[in-house]
Amino acid sequence: MYFYSSIAQRKLIKKQRKVERPKSSFGFYILWNQISLISFFSITYILGWDAPSVGLKFEILPVFSLIIGLICYYIFVLVVNKILNILRVSQIVENDAYLVSVRLIPRQKLQRTLFLIAVCILNPITEELIFRGVLVHQLGIYINNYYLAISLGLFVTVGNHIYQGRLHIITHIIFYVFTVTLLYSDVGLVGSIGFHLAGDVYPFMRLKYEANNYKKRRREERRAKYVSS
């Protein structure tokens, strides 16, 4: 379902000539979804699942696990930038990432604030619980095959983000490798949540910078096209 939805969304984005902002209530909708997921996990925790089954480890203080996750994200950015520069596709990926951000982030102040709370605070927790804690760690225990669970998790992760563009598959594969490595390290799921937290906050911090760069690249493209004609 995630895979099909992402492909359909990607086709819709490619058809759009003009970059469209989300609906006026989009921020509230995203926040409500995140609150619903948190509530679901809280209820199911009471009914039976426990922290170790989803990879939550507390041998290291959670705050240090979060910090390790944040540091790993910095390394991830360096690795991804290097690979994209070698492949000479960094500008294409940056353009796609910026356009996706514009389509997702509401203009209205309240909706934008609700969206940021949902994406930057709650989303790292819910996504890591679902896609790493349950889909990878818990499933690996249940079927007694971690490699199959990790492979399935990778397929779902890529399918869930394919709407961002084919070249972004590279980024999400590397992202997945980092989060799974953290999941099975001493920092566990808390470390992967810290990593994901940085991954959701960092694009917002750079949004204005990316907007200026995107406009600059568009001007250069139009200028080059005008000169060639």
Print pLDDT tens along the chain (229 aa): 444 444 444 444 454 445 566 777 889 999 999 999 999 888 877 666 788 899 999 989 999 999 999 999 999 999 999 999 999 888 888 888 888 888 888 888 999 999 999 999 999 999 999 999 999 999 999 999 999 999 999 999 888 887 777 778 889 999 999 999 999 999 999 999 999 999 999 988 888 888 888 888 778 777 777 676 6
Identify whether 4 is part of a domain. no
Q: Which domain holds residue 104?
A: 52-228
Q: Does residue 2 lie within any of the structural domains?
A: no
Pairwise CA distance, residues 100 & 47, whole Å? 38
DSSP assignment of 37-95: HHHHHHHHHHHT--TGGGT---SS-HHHHHHHHHHHHHHHHHHHHHHHHHHT-HHHHHH
The pLDDT, as a whole number, for residue 166 is 78
Query: 104 in a domain, yes or no?
Result: yes
Q: Could you count the other beta carbons within 10 Å of the beta carbon of residue 1?
A: 8
What pLDDT, on the 0 to 100 scale, is given for residue 46?
Answer: 67
Under DSSP, the state recorded for 16 is -
Question: Taking the alpha carbons of 103, 4, 25, 197 in that order, is the dihedral positive or negative?
Answer: negative
Give pLDDT, residue 95.
83
Rounded Cα distance between 186 and 60, Å, is 7
- In angstroms, the CA 180 to CA 75 distance is 15
Provide the token pair at 108: 């209205």
- Note whether residue 28 is domain-resident: no
Supply the pTM of this predicted model: 0.85
Which amino acid type is present at position 40? F
Task: For residue 11, tell me if it sits in a domain.
Answer: no
Neighbours of 88 (CB within 10 A): 8
* Number of domains, the chain: 1
